[in-house]
């Protein structure tokens, strides 16, 4: 098997045994990028030169007997909203098309210190606003399983890179499902940690009370290994929680017999594709066969989650994106008539339609006379949604549900219908509103060959339990590590 097709776990073990070198692994991944990324378009910037230098350093680290980590010498890609010294950080936007940060995000610093090899920056919906990666200012990314379909979003580049084996693993961000939904569409593992588990310092914000960085990987074990590196308290992030980081990988194989799993009736209603429901129901039966105990539960305020999210997230976006005005950095419109015209023209030309739509909606929700009716009311409903989860978790360890109502949809199918696009995240948004950890694990395919994801949700900071249940399910289900067949460039 080609090195680029290996899991992070397998490569870590082979590197530690000296069976392969990081240079060999890294060259294999860049050969794969050269062969297929022109079709998939997962990358916005590729750093082969820098990656090979990092790979040499990782190999030297091992030769000297210096301390290593599971990601030492492993080629990883980064969603293009994570600040990186030496590489552009565009957020998929014309507004930041040439922006090069002078500092690394905390997660990037931790990866570099751990010896990871950074392959480049990955495509995304502009400022993480979208569910298809069609909102990128630069290009759409294709779903590796069907190039006529979207990879999901906003972390579409991150999931497509793992599915197409152009990165061994990646980091994405999840504000309303932006890791889990594309992971489901692309047939990979995608995890959103508890809000506060992973530092957001250096993440270019969309909605600060919702954004969370997480791993995108081929297997659950890979997610556990990568999360162990990036998790933990950070004094530079006031929302980072100072709580111990368990041994996620070491505890994966602990028994799940007797664990209580709730199945929310609201997540299996109208609009759920029959093939998706069948795959998720089969996953429930497999977990029951492993000894988990199931119960029907209710999350009664689920129907209000999308409306609540699109008031709170857009309000925060309106505030966060006010800084992009053409004054200090980023895009600035030319030939404008005075300061106010420069502001207006810069923002009109620099932002795409979806970002403008959300800024306007958020500004309206925060405006005088409407704040109480919209923003404050949405905060109150957010509390009710959180209480729903608290009540379920009083008697259950895990919640199981679909990730998305449907498999990946076609390009252009929803882009001109914002409400339909927003509803594709209806089963992931509540988790962000409540700040909970959740994971998408492959649970089958449709008759037409499109991946389906199973969503597991846990109590705050119960990532250890979440990963353990996901790992046991993955072992029984047998879907882990499947790759689409991609046409590569002909060898001259």
- Asked whether residue 88 is domain-assigned, the answer is yes
Task: Say if residues 7 and 222 touch (Cβ distance below 8 Å).
Answer: yes
- Asked whether residue 380 is domain-assigned, the answer is no
Cis peptide before 228 (omega within 30 of 0): no
Structure tokens at 355: 């970002």
- Asked whether residue 370 is domain-assigned, the answer is no
Dist. CA 239–CA 38, nearest whole Å: 38
- Asked whether residue 116 is domain-assigned, the answer is yes
Catalytic positions are 79, 154, 178
> What residue numbers bound the domain in which 151 lies?
3-261+395-477
- Asked whether residue 420 is domain-assigned, the answer is yes
- Asked whether residue 372 is domain-assigned, the answer is no
pLDDT band at 487 (very low <50, low <70, confident <90, very high): low
pLDDT band at 309 (very low <50, low <70, confident <90, very high): very high
pTM for the model stands at 0.97
- pLDDT, one tens digit per residue, over 75-111 is 999 999 999 999 999 999 999 999 999 999 999 999 9
List Cα–Cα distances, 332 to 78, 125, 166, 349, 350, in angstroms: 26, 21, 34, 9, 8
Instruction: Please list, in sequence order, all residues whose beta carbon lies within 8 angstroms of the beta carbon of residue 328, skipping any fewer than 6 positions away.
Output: none
Task: Say if residues 84 and 118 touch (Cβ distance below 8 Å).
Answer: yes
- Asked whether residue 152 is domain-assigned, the answer is yes
- pLDDT, one tens digit per residue, over 113-163 is 999 999 999 999 999 999 999 999 999 999 999 999 999 999 999 999 999
- Asked whether residue 271 is domain-assigned, the answer is no
State residue 153's pLDDT score.
Answer: 97
Dist. CA 56–CA 59, nearest whole Å: 5
pLDDT band at 454 (very low <50, low <70, confident <90, very high): very high
- Average per-residue pLDDT for the chain: 97
pLDDT surpasses 50 at 267: yes
pLDDT band at 302 (very low <50, low <70, confident <90, very high): very high
Structure tokens at 393: 């978790």
pLDDT surpasses 80 at 482: yes
- pLDDT, one tens digit per residue, over 349-380 is 999 999 999 999 999 999 999 999 999 999 99
CATH code (residue 84): 3.90.1300.10
Of residues 272, 261, 256, 259, the one with CA closest to residue 297: 261
Structure tokens at 303: 């129907």
Please give the tally of structural domains in the chain: 1
pLDDT surpasses 50 at 1: yes
Dist. CA 260–CA 456, nearest whole Å: 12
- pLDDT, one tens digit per residue, over 189-220 is 999 999 999 999 999 999 999 999 999 999 99
- pLDDT, one tens digit per residue, over 212-266 is 999 999 999 999 999 999 999 999 999 999 999 999 999 999 999 999 999 999 9
Structure tokens at 415: 């882009």
């Amino acid at each position: 098997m080609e090195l680029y097709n290996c899991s992070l776990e397998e490569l870590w073990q082979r590197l530690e045994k000296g069976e392969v070198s990081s240079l060999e692994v890294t060259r294999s991944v860049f050969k794969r990028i050269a062969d297929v990324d022109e079709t998939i378009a997962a990358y916005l910037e590729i750093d082969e030169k820098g990656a090979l230098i990092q790979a040499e350093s990782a190999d030297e680290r091992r030769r000297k007997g210096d301390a290593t980590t599971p990601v030492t010498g492993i080629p990883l890609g980064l969603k293009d909203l994570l600040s990186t010294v030496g590489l552009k950080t565009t957020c998929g936007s014309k507004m930041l098309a040439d922006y090069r940060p002078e500092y690394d995000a905390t997660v990037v610093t931790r990866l570099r210190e751990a010896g990871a090899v950074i392959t480049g920056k990955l495509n995304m919906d502009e400022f993480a606003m979208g569910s298809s990666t069609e909102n990128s200012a630069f290009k759409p990314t294709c779903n590796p399983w069907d190039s006529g379909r979207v990879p999901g979003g906003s972390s579409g580049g991150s999931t497509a890179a793992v599915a197409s084996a152009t990165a061994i693993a990646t980091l994405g961000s999840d504000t309303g499902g932006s890791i889990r939904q594309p992971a489901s569409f692309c047939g990979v593992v995608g995890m959103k940690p508890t809000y506060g588990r992973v530092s957001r310092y250096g993440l270019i914000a969309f909605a600060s009370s919702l954004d969370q960085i997480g791993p995108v990987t081929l297997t659950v074990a890979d997610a556990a290994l990568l999360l162990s590196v990036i998790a933990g308290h950070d004094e530079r992030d006031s929302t980072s929680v100072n709580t111990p980081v368990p041994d996620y990988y070491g505890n994966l194989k602990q028994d799940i017999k007797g664990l209580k799993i709730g199945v929310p009736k609201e997540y299996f209603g109208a609009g759920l594709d029959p093939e998706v429901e069948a795959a998720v129901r089969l996953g429930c039966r497999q977990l029951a066969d492993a000894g988990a105990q199931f119960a029907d539960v209710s999350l009664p305020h689920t129907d209000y989650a999308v409306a609540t999210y699109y008031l709170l997230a857009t309000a925060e976006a309106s505030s966060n994106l006010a800084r992009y005005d053409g004054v200090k950095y980023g895009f600035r419109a030319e030939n404008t008539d005075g300061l106010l015209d420069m502001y207006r023209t810069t923002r009109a030309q620099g932002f795409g339609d979806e970002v403008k739509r959300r800024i306007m909606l958020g500004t309206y929700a925060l405006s005088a006379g409407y704040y109480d009716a919209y923003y404050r009311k949405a905060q109150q409903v957010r509390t009710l949604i959180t209480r729903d989860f608290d009540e379920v978790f009083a008697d259950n360890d895990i919640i199981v549900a679909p990730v998305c109502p449907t498999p990946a949809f076609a390009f252009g199918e929803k882009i001109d219908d914002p409400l339909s696009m927003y509803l594709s995240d209806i089963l992931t948004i509540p988790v962000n509103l409540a700040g909970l950890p959740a994971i998408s694990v492959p649970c089958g395919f449709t008759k037409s060959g499109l991946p389906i994801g199973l969503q597991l949700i846990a109590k705050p900071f119960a990532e250890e339990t979440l990963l353990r249940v996901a790992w046991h399910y993955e072992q029984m289900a047998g879907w882990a590590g499947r790759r689409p067949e991609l046409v590569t460039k002909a060898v001259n």
